[in-house]
Amino acid sequence: AQSVTQPDIHITVSEGASLELRCNYSYGATPYLFWYVQSPGQGLQLLLKYFSGDTLVQGIKGFEAEFKRSQSSFNLRKPSVHWSDAAEYFCAVGARGFKTIFGAGTRLFVKA
């Protein structure tokens, strides 16, 4: 069955430190992969997506993600976190053409 696992429910990093959010997926074919960010009380904003091609994907707000087929992973990274990055982050896999399956999310806290 298709699924997305985000192992970390919460992560706390210091402002200026690097960030990596983990995402593992289970999908039978080449997946469409996404990272979304959700600020409190807001909808989801797409950070980046992977459909095919270069396995290192650049997104908005300085985020990037790397698709590793051998590890079934699509981890999100940022070299230097800003306080405004505090939010919830969702990894998602596009399935069957339109059903997007979301992970449970990782809440990021940024400390000064």
Partner 1 sequence: NAGVMQNPRHLVRRRGQEARLRCSPMKGHSHVYWYRQLPEEGLKFMVYLQKENIIDESGMPKERFSAEFPKEGPSILRIQQVVRGDSAAYFCASSPGQAPNTEAFFGQGTRLTVV
Which residues make up the interface to partner 1 (CB under 8 A)? 4, 32, 34, 36, 41-46, 49, 51, 90, 92, 94, 97-105
Rounded to the nearest whole angstrom, what is the least distance from the CB of residue 100 to partner 1 in the complex?
A: 6
Of 13 and 90, the one with the shorter C-beta distance to partner 1 is: 90
* Residue 90 φ/ψ, nearest 5 degrees: -120, 130
Contact yes or no for 21/75 (Cβ under 8 A): yes
Rounded to the nearest whole angstrom, what is the least distance from the CB of residue 111 to partner 1 in the complex?
A: 22
Cα gap 36→72, rounded to integer Å:
18
Of 9 and 112, the one with the shorter C-beta distance to partner 1 is: 9
Rounded to the nearest whole angstrom, what is the least distance from the CB of residue 99 to partner 1 in the complex?
A: 5
Of 13 and 93, the one with the shorter C-beta distance to partner 1 is: 93
Rounded to the nearest whole angstrom, what is the least distance from the CB of residue 49 to partner 1 in the complex?
A: 7
Residue 63 amino acid letter: F
Contacts of residue 64, Cβ cutoff 8 Å, sequence gap at least 6: 48, 56, 57, 58, 76, 77, 78
Three-state DSSP class for 79? coil
